Structure 1
């Protein structure tokens, strides 16, 4: 024992004199056989509008070797017409040098692309490039595949004369495109309208979407003649994301607008009439054979001529405006599907409002009308709205089964007529203030294995939802024929008796 302490001191001194031992995974190998592995063999960008950058794509680079490797260069072998940007270890550029990857470790490379305009005006075009990695004299490549698309760009455009937006190329809106008062913007069948983040189509004059299109035969939901409005992010993860753009806004001076055979999706508002001073005649919008979906709940403040109003997202929102809606599907609105306030005439015929919102805890009713609103923090004088609803469905998964609301409805009950419709409401039943169980309405019909629709978020069949009627739907054959409305949303003939909602079931 008396020799133990001197021995430990001697060993400690010897340890100090030994050379440092570097961990094996930090020692950089120069072996030419050391290669990298990648999470993808091809980095793919969906169709990108020229001059508009893509989202960043991720590529993981793996070093499976026990020792570290030094990647002498990471670069993009690009061709004329496209510009790439790489983000590696926090540094941005088109080339990164002397990047070390520890043994058994990985590196994240972010790739972003911007495509230049080309003479190819009409069809999407393909660009193939290579992302190069040079390590110990070896070169490895990962392909980059990009699809570019030329477009008409509208950046703070003021449309001051009668204009037609053609369908030969997509239209992309930045900030806004404004249809001036006393002029008309007509949008051709098959046109594609894309809006950048926060952008809006503002209508002070008249908007005509597919005004003269007359389909022949049954249409498919993806029919190429539908006019489609959505955000400009084309990547798959944005396909059904609400709130990407601001929507279509009709200003106080707007009149006699028509939206036919159209899809509006992924916006903060679908169709918004904003007439804060209650100017008459009210702006009016007719909607036929349309789909409005994926509308966000973000509350926005509008300031106009010193008036400030806060409004929440809705597929159809009228502030002193008139809506006539036929053969239309409205779904997946994080707050309201229909919100009408301070007067207005609302007419719904053969509509399906199926407001399932699985991505948001919705606390609002799907359909709400109110006679007053606060402006500059003070209540404005009440103006009673008018509602006529026939052969329509108001359904959803919010407010514990209450999807219909009339603020101060007792004051304007004589203005409300709902008939032969399917309603999810407990308040407005036989004993409620409006007595909507009369006139052939069906209230809260689902029991046991009875379903309204073919497929919903709570009864999915595949990746998409189908709001056509289920085989045993209580809405089948319960409508009353309406003059002039002989086909459904997809141009299928209405049978006798017809079905309630936007879709007519086919004969067995």
Structure 2
């Protein structure tokens, strides 16, 4: 038996040694490519791009080798390529020799770029190069194009740890010295964000005590993974956006989003952390602000005696909560929230709240959502202890609370603290299928005729007719049940787009247009 096995092995070796897989011919300039130009989406200066893919085909019946594959600018190129799993000469990803490609086969070329604004053409800020396949008369090429965007980078300091690595500047959260997060305090020269360049933040940028972070109209702020802004005790953040004349450019809107600029990341939730207003922060205000793709859009941990002013603000694609407040004080006008993994709005551990002409919707598609769009709660459970505090007031007026779930309003009262709320002239999704709340006084008041709420007990009844929930467009169309159902007593004269409201006004953050 051993001799039979040995004979088979010898036969296999002799056959494979006669194969002609590696008797290749030089490429004759007939390669085909999946793209003639590879556009690497916008990157910030000196920040590495995502990896892009080019596929190279040998349609011929011959096994070939490509004598050379190189970047046009050679070792000076700001691009790097990997060819069929190889990193090239000296591992630099710039030059490759005699790359084999079998008949009727293909291979992948992976492309990245790290370039500065100084490398780009000043006229259009494009940085370009080519991948050259072969040379002379057989040479073929694929163009590479990247838009470089200049930016202001803000990040924590790092220090050598003596072991070849680094330690990073950290911030203490709360009174426990062991509760830290990677971050840094903004200095006085960094406390005004303008619209001249975008800002890119790594880690948490903290507003120091007794300082104000002023964010001007049209500013763009991008956050890296696990990054955000923290406003310290007695510190303030004031976002001063304004109405835009161009709905596509939103030139005066302030935008907070992640630092991945590729189109594939434009609507991905949870790319960065949160805007955290710590207990004792003061005089915080947000106007014409869009917050996209955070974990929690705004996290309000109580304040001093002042009230957070949130006006004409949109919060989309939060992986957890759009606005999360614990014993917060909020005055909200023309707020729009959509697509949150848990709640669009969660007012917990009591607090004081006034929301007028707001649209709280939750058309989350990432997973099954059990929580309602809006939660009012006078408790908070940290997993070990149940805390409760007075819900002094929670007024929601001339608004919309909606989504695909049967019950999009949640009320949770602990008798150990006050629970005061008033929901009037609001379109509410409240489909009590099993009549579980039929005799619950917390909910019966919502349906009381004196509050003039518009109750939707299924998807078709009293439909707000949002324009496009999938694209976070919660403007209402003709035929909406929200049209002219508002109370003039609570009217905000202009909607979130700056459109003058009619009398009686439409419910929610937007006035409908004919």
Structure 1 residues 50 and 443, CA gap change in structure 2 (3 angstroms): same
Report the equivalent of 2:429: 424
Matched, 1:504 2:476: no
Matched, 1:402 2:407: yes
Equivalence map 1:66-465=2 (5 Å): 66-78=61-73, 83-92=78-87, 93-95=92-94, 96-118=96-118, 125-134=125-134, 138-156=138-156, 157-161=184-188, 163-204=191-232, 205-210=235-240, 213=242, 215=243, 220=247, 222-275=249-302, 281=304, 284-296=307-319, 313-375=320-382, 377-384=384-391, 386-398=393-405, 401-408=406-413, 415-426=420-431, 431-434=439-442, 435-438=445-448, 439-444=451-456, 448=460, 451-456=463-468, 464-465=471-472
CA distance in 2, matches of 1:381, 1:132: 68
Structure 1 residues 208 and 335, CA gap change in structure 2 (3 angstroms): same
Q: What 5-or-longer segments of structure 2 have no aligned partner? A: 1-7, 157-183
- Structure 2 residue corresponding to 1:56, chosen from 51, 54, 58: 51
Structure 1 residues 465 and 382, CA gap change in structure 2 (3 angstroms): closer
Structure 1 residues 32 and 385, CA gap change in structure 2 (3 angstroms): same
Q: Partner of 1:320: helix, strand, or coil?
A: strand
Deviation at 1:247, TM superposition (A): 2.1
CA distance in 2, matches of 1:201, 1:19: 66
Residue pair 2:350, 2:388 contacting (<8 A) in 1 also = no
CA distance in 2, matches of 1:133, 1:358: 44
Cα-to-partner distance string for 1:384-420 (whole Å, 9 max, x where unaligned): 353100011111123xx11111222677675110000
CA distance in 2, matches of 1:16, 1:495: 86
CA distance in 1, matches of 2:282, 2:140: 61
Q: What 5-or-longer segments of structure 1 have no aligned partner? A: 1-11, 297-312
CA distance in 2, matches of 1:98, 1:486: 71
TM-score (normalised: structure 1)? 0.83
Cα-to-partner distance string for 1:82-133 (whole Å, 9 max, x where unaligned): 6222223333332333322221111111101111242989986111210122
Q: Partner of 1:118: helix, strand, or coil?
A: helix
